[in-house]
Amino acid sequence: ELCHQLGLQSTGLQLYHGIKAALNYWSAKALWGKLDKKAGHKDYDQGTAC
């Protein structure tokens, strides 16, 4: 539903970046920072696992 409302049809890492670009409100910035830090962890191949 969120992807439909934002007009996004990609998957994986492209989807993440699309949602992040669309939801750039000040209240979401802390969440994106935490998710980016988690995605950069070696277990997630420094953000390239998707």
Assess if residue 6 is contained within a domain.
Answer: no
Residue 15 confidence (pLDDT): 82
CA distance 31 to 16: 13
Summarize pLDDT for 1-50 with one digit per residue, the tens: 888 888 888 787 788 888 888 888 988 999 999 988 887 877 777 666 55
Residue 41 confidence (pLDDT): 79
Angle 28-33-34 (CA atoms, 0-180°, nearest 5)? 100
Tell me the pTM: 0.60
Assess if residue 22 is contained within a domain.
Answer: yes
E strand or H helix at 43, and its extent? none
Q: Alpha carbon 37 to chain centroid distance?
A: 11
Residue 2 confidence (pLDDT): 80
Residue 47 confidence (pLDDT): 62
The count of structural domains within the chain is: 1
Residue 8 confidence (pLDDT): 83
Domain that holds residue 17: 11-47
Assess if residue 4 is contained within a domain.
Answer: no
Assess if residue 35 is contained within a domain.
Answer: yes
